[in-house]
Chains A and B, each alone.
Chain A
Amino acid sequence: MTGYIVRRGIASFVVVWVVSIIVFLLIHAAPGDPVLAKLSQRIPEAQLQALREQIGIDDPLPVQYLRWLGNTLQGDLGQSLYRDQQTVASRLADTFPVTAELLALSILFSTLVGIPLGVISAARQDTVLDYVIRVVSITGLAVPAFWLGTVLIVYGGLWFGYATPDIYVPLWEDPVENLKSFWMPALILGYNLCSITMRFTRSAVLEVLRHDYIRTARAKGLRETTVVLRHVLLNAAIPVIAVLGNQVVFLLGGTVVVEFLFHLPGLGSTSMEALSTRDYNLMLGIVMFVATLTVTANLAADVAAAASDPRVRLR
């Protein structure tokens, strides 16, 4: 087991390193540079030249990459190139809590709603209830988050006079105000995720229901509720949790749109800012952070699957 984790851990590290090369090349291949972006701040020409040298932006690309890599391996992600006096690490520390809360709330929602719906749908297979639940979840995979969000904002305001707060307040300062601005975006992301959770739970439960030990449990006179809750759900939960870990990358993608729409200062909306201001360091920092988060979640999911199923470990 330890060998398996170590092997997968090294592989994940290599993936993140390849991501850094791809992102570095893409950022530098795009037209425009951070110094030109600074022109909008009306900085004199001489100062700009000094800035170019300070950033080392005119050095050959391999030199710039190795410098960045060396600093990063020492834990220094560098300065934000657009906003003076801000390090990439401090921007990440400021914005990650927003994204993390969004992720946590939507995973919570999709687990609390998706798993029970999946179980009900499987236990009542081919009834009207099953069809209704399936249609709702199939729709959840097709509805664009940016549309659902726009409609909720517009009609929420129109019909109920409801408006989400414009200014972000951290959870620990004012939990009520904070949740006011988070519940809607979390619900939208959660609905997408919920559909996936529900579909996987349903098929996992249907799979388990076919086993002999379920027949035995029923034959010895257990109530159907006990069979489903104790014998089916626990066995079906493991593959579902593994699948959830692999969805983190899609959730992170969803946060870009949702944070943009609801004016939340998280990683997603900051990546938009980094892109438009050509802030190389910030963009690299964000993508590296997000990729690390993704491979860690995938690794955790795989380890959970391996821990519960010895056959996986040997592959």
Chain B
Amino acid sequence: MSVNESAAGSVDLNAVTVRPGRPVRAARFFLRRPLAVFSVSIVTILCLVAALAPFIATHDPITIYPAERLSGPSLDHFFGTDSLGRDTFSQSVYGARVSLLVGLLATALGTLAGTVLGMISAYIGGWADTLLQQLSDAVMAMPAIIFLMLVGSVLGQGMFNVIWALALVVTPYVSRIVRGSVLSLREAPYVESARVAGAGPLRIMAIHILPNTMPLIIVTASVLVGSAMLAEGALSFLGLGIPSDDPTWKVSWGSMLSPDRLRHIEQAPWLTIYPGAALTLAVLGFNLLGDTLRDALDPRLRGT
């Protein structure tokens, strides 16, 4: 189209339809996709609950109320209490904090590291590429949970250690995707012309390649947030992640479901429902957000 316009020298004004403004296009995009609305709402609610946890929670999530242990859902305890009398509703609310922080921070760190390493790998090549590829292949040849268990045993328990360990798992996935994308982009005509014009590798990377890889990185990262949340949940469920009475972060949805906390579960089966349902919704929200972002950022990736 741009070729026609410049070749003709003038544009037939009648043929040009007025393109609606950005807000209108955004609104149309969302209204056509109910799942997009759903995913954005879930992620927004999750962020609000995490940020406002102390105001939403009705009790302190780790205070023990022995007299009210294993009581059913009521006006005082919306989701009932566990075997020590801790308020399940407040625990579920604080769990959003841990899940969101772990998911976002681990993905952000891993994506940053993966992007840098992927670019180094693709652009420098040679032994640096071979070494990085071997390391990431090796990390990806182990089930994530086993690698997390091993790294966790070195770092110890606690939320930030889980985040570091998860970032290590995320890095190779991102670096591999970035590497592939950079390898194909560096052959693109516009990169070649930039090189001919005298641009150095750093400038080409920052101005020509990174912006074009960004959509792919963002889409990958949003799905990885969900996977990181699931992995943290599994780790805490196994008793290897965030302790169930952490003084700062209180509780993780995964540790709320760990078998030793559910010993008297026959008397209070409802305790199993809330943390898992919350985690499922949160992961669903981020996965669907990934789909939405893919549709919005890169039409070519649609339906893949």
Binding site for B on A (CB under 8 A): 11, 14-16, 18-19, 22-23, 26-27, 29-30, 138-139, 141-148, 150-151, 154-155, 157-158, 203, 206, 249-250, 252-254, 256-257, 260-261, 271-272, 275, 283, 286-287, 290-291, 294-295, 298
Contacts and interface: CB of A to CB of B under 8 A. Distances in A.
A120 B303 CA distance: 16
A291 B144 CA distance: 11
A290 B143 contact: yes
Given A206-B303, A257-B238, A19 B142 contact: yes
Nearest to B130: A14
B269 A158 contact: yes
Contacts of A29: 154
A203 B304 contact: yes
B233 A157 contact: no
Contact of A15 (B137, B144, B150, B265): B137
Most B C-beta atoms less than 10 A away, residue of A11, A144, A290, A294 = A144
B280 interface: yes
Contacts, number: 137
A261 B259 contact: yes
Contacts of A275: 149-150, 153
Contacts of B272: 147, 150-151, 154
Contacts of A287: 142, 146, 150
Given A14-B134, A29-B154, A142 B284 contact: yes
5 contacts: A14-B134, A30-B153, A148-B276, A256-B149, A290-B142
Given A30-B154, A256-B145, A138 B303 contact: no
B208 to A, nearest CB: 25
Given A11-B137, A144-B276, A147-B276, 12 more contacts: A14-B134, A15-B138, A19-B138, A141-B287, A142-B281, A142-B284, A203-B303, A252-B143, A256-B149, A275-B150, A287-B142, A291-B142
Interface in B148-175: 149-151, 153-154
A147 B149 CA distance: 19
A142 B226 CA distance: 8
Interface string B251-292: 000100101001001100100110111011101100110000
A151 B272 CA distance: 6
B207 interface: no
A138 B150 contact: no
B238 A18 contact: no
Given A147-B272, A150-B276, A154-B272, A253 B283 contact: no
A183 B260 CA distance: 24
B149 A138 contact: no
Most A C-beta atoms less than 10 A away, residue of B144, B234, B277 = B234
Contacts of B226: 142
A146 B143 contact: no
Interface of B: 134-135, 137-146, 149-151, 153-154, 226, 230, 233-234, 237-238, 254, 257, 259, 262, 265-266, 269, 272-273, 275-277, 279-281, 283-284, 287-288, 303-304
B279 A138 contact: no
B134 A18 contact: yes
Contacts of B145: 253, 256-257
Nearest to A14: B134
A154 B238 contact: no
Given A158-B266, A272-B238, A144 B279 contact: yes
A295 B141 contact: yes
Given A15-B134, A19-B142, A291-B142, A142 B287 contact: yes
A31 to B, nearest CB: 8
Given A27-B150, A139-B280, A142-B280, A150 B262 contact: yes
A315 B277 CA distance: 44
Contacts of B303: 203, 206
A294 B142 contact: yes
Contacts of B230: 142, 144
A226 to B, nearest CB: 26
Most B C-beta atoms less than 10 A away, residue of A11, A275, A295 = A275
Nearest to B304: A203
A34 to B, nearest CB: 13
A146 B150 contact: no
A157 B234 CA distance: 23
Given A22-B138, A203-B304, A139 B262 contact: no
